[in-house]
Amino acid sequence: MIRRTAIATVQIENERVRVTEWRFAPGSQTGWHVHPTDYVVVPMSTGELLLESADGTSRNQLVAGVSYTRVAGSEHNVINDAETEFVFVEIELK
């Protein structure tokens, strides 16, 4: 299946952080990527995203305003396979 790419809009970029808003239309994805730094995700929507990793697939329940963090080296593809848009803000710590 060919999926559209989620829309990434960099809001802030400086020597310490990069803040990006990610908008996932239904059926869109980030594409496989590796995070070079630690990061924080702040969901702006409540819902479920599909996560593909080397270990397989999992579903992540996210709640608007409830943040989580991951360490550098995380490799995955994030997919919105729901019927509604999903939005989160990602803060990468440089």
Angle 44-47-58 from CA coordinates, rounded to 5°: 115
User: Does the predicted model carry a pTM greater than 0.85?
Assistant: yes
| Distance (Å, whole) CA 81 – CA 73 | 24
Q: What is the CATH number of the domain that holds 30?
A: 2.60.120.10
Residue 54 lies in a domain: yes
Residue 74 lies in a domain: yes
Residue range 44-89, pLDDT digits in tens: 999 999 999 999 999 999 999 999 999 999 999 999 999 999 999 9
What DSSP element (H or E) covers 59?
A: strand 56-62
Residue 2 lies in a domain: no
Domain count, the chain: 1
Residue 1 lies in a domain: no
Residue identified by tokens 């980030």 is 30
Containing domain of residue 59, as a range? 7-93
